Structure 1
Amino acid sequence: MAQSKHIDKVLDRHRDETITNNRLRLKTSINTIRWLAFQVCAFRGDDESPGSLNRGNFIELIKLLASCNQNVNNVVLENASENAQYISPVVQNPFAYYIHCLAHRLQLALVSAAKEVCYVHQFFSKFTLIVNVVTISPKRHDQLRVAQANNVANLIANDQIVTGSGLNQIGTLQRARDTRWGSHLNSVRNLLCMFDATCEVLEKSTEEDNFSTRGDASAAYDAITSFEFVFVLHLMRNILEVSHDLCQALQRKNQDILNALTLVSTTKTLIQRMRESSWEAFIKEVILFCEKHEVEVPDMNALHIPRRGRTRKIVDQISVEHHYRVNLFLAVIDTQLQELNGRFNDNMVELLTLSSTLDPRDNYKFFSVNKVCELVERFYPCHFSDQEKFHIRMQAQHYELDVPNHVELTNLCTISELCQGLTKTGKSLTYPLIDHLIRLTQKQNGR
């Protein structure tokens, strides 16, 4: 054998081995990030150096996987070259962002869209300040719980709330965390329930705490007792409640696409209905809340004075009622509608609807040969040749009669399980066009 050919074989073998090792290393990192993200665990620790006894969840979980699999152990952490370990924050962060489910992205997008209205952005800044001041020390936290317990006891004594098992729990305030599902809605609800107790703790802090903390407490108290804050607090609660069921449906592991799409439609309708006909009831609720909790209510017919006391030109002068209804209420709702319409436009809804035909749940009850062909023609024409487009109809007919009757392919719940099942049983080779389409839709929909 010529020396050059021998060297080429060695290089090819080395190149294939490098690619295989990289793939295993990358897969290990992705699976680790996936697990940590869905368990809402922190990725990094205080000390990430090799000599640390606890280098953080991400690296420690990779070490655990390596201890269970020698092939993994051979290619990760110190056994990989320094620039190919896939453990740096630069690598962790993009992966973590990618694998967050559509539901999580939607809820955060709705909150972010609302923040585009400057008054809502300022609301969340004040909200964070209030929670931080009240929960920053065990002393204030205990004061909050005592104050809330007293408020609940007084309400029960006055027959203003009902009693029963699981009702009237004291609870506490919590921050809205971007990594925890539904945390924005829970945070807003908690503050509404503990409004009086929170005000009481903040007022005490302005009088009793040291000079360095009294300033924050005073600013937080001024914020929470303002009409604008109470107004936005109620508005965000109402909007997040409308979108909550949709977000919950989208985040379920066993997603029912068609029912989730129905919730997209109903969510849009409810938000539109809120825009068109709920102002009167909403502003009445806010005013009643303010009167109950001794928050000053502005004269709605008075002239609205912009911040910093500057008056606008005569042509721009508006009433206080107009400001809250148009600049806040309608503006925030419109951003929600725009966000929903942008993320669930007609093409996306059609793609998800047609993709549901591949759902294996309930013994493939959604499968339709015509929808399979339509899905290929409408969304994946470049991925199939003209001959394959013609042949996939017949392949789909065989698939429809065969796969639901295969014992190892029944009782599947997700597209991912279906992909694994088709590969395990060899059906991916029998129906390569259907298998290719399933994997395309899985990649497109991020499941």
Structure 2
Amino acid sequence: MAYIKHGAYHFKMDEYPPDESVTHPRKFQYYWFKSFPWLEYSPDKDAVYCFPCFLFCKKPLGKKGSDVFTVKGFKKWKRVNDGERCAFLTHMGKDSKSAHNYAAKCYDNLKNKPCHMEPLVVKQTDGDIRRNRLRLRVTFDSLRWLAFQACPFRGHDESLDSKNQGNFLEMVKLIASYDEEIGAVVLGNAPGNAKYTSPTIQKELLGIIASKVQSEIRKEIGDAKLCLLVDESRDESKREQMAVVIRFVDKPGFTRERFLDIVHVADTSSATLKEEISSVLVQHQLDVNNIRGQGYDGASNMRGEWNGLQAKFMEECPYAYYIHCFAHQLQLALVAASKEVADVHNFFDHLALVINTVVSSSKRHDELQANQVAEMEHLIELGELETESGANQVGTLQRPCDTRWSSHYASVCSLVKLYKPTFLVHKSIATAKGSGTSPSARAKASGAVNLMMSFDFIFILHVIKNLWESRTCYAKSCNKSLKIL
């Protein structure tokens, strides 16, 4: 900037050297600076340059002599003061849009502070700044609340005439309806280029929130030793996602588990998982040598002794001991044991039939609840049920999940509790002739009635309930966050 402020270099000599390369030598004249103040003289080359063109020339060099006044230097003094053919006048050009005039204008604007970006930005009124901040705050608070509640942001139709534009826009509308100042600056009252509601803005703000949360987690971890808990699963879009959880002891001495990151992985090979996990650790400045435990499932890519994920981390940190998830081990043991006992294996197939027949139909579910109410009223009359507040709630049957055997215990308990109402629903279906019930539905219901009246089914139901009650307590203890590392 000092060079620009100084301006063109008007070097003054008592006598300028003549150009000996021509027959009639001529030399530079100092008074030319007055007529052409943009000239800059170089005593080393005995040539002149155009100061603004040197700074802002936008023409390609080497074309039509355009680099004479910027690179080579002009020294053909005979062509100066040659009327309209004067080289200096020719360089300036008659058109106001010539390269020289464009460069001169750029130079003048650079010297003129009011034309700089900073003064133009400062001119923005305090009111504009306040309105923009208020608009952004509404967007930020809406996103933060929806993210905390795990709610989707966008709707199927976000057009202006849509009756439901999605959770995010509807929440902004709701906030605006309670405050006139907010309503005056958001959505339709916001400038077209500063609404702060586009999907891109939403993702950017969510990224900022996520980075802030991760930063706080990193501060909480500090230099503590940690355990690495990793699991992968396929999401709704069929993309393999890997969740990374860090388990550590904080400064007050409490065991903490923090969900640190979720990463898309191309495949679930141990090499790929190792690379992605290492990238997450490096990103958050976590030292691999501080790992004191690894918690994964029992898949071969995780627990492999030589090429598994746990083995690859053990190569870098020999103290990163691998522990197969206790709850997962217990689940595998239960699955194996259930398959070995034919009666138990068949029982779970029958259990699914009994429950699914009822919960798959809203009409049958309503009938189940009506049977519950009738049974409760009868038991209350007999004095076998208490009538205090919160007691005797109407429940429903729980479907078992194939991948979560803990859900089978909930299914067994729900059927034990609702055994008679469930039996009455199946009996009603089996005996409903000519009421729109299909023969196959009546046949299934009839089979369920026979099952529920059999000694083997009832006996196994109660054995499984009592046996898995202790198993559930153990599984919960395996999942407690305060378990010793």
What TM bracket, shorter-length normalisation? 0.3 to 0.5
TM-score after normalising by structure 2 = 0.35
* TM-score (normalizing by structure 1): 0.38
Q: Which has the higher contact order (CA 8 A, sep 6+)?
A: 1
Higher share in strand: 2
Greater helix share, 1 or 2?
A: 1
The higher radius of gyration belongs to: 2
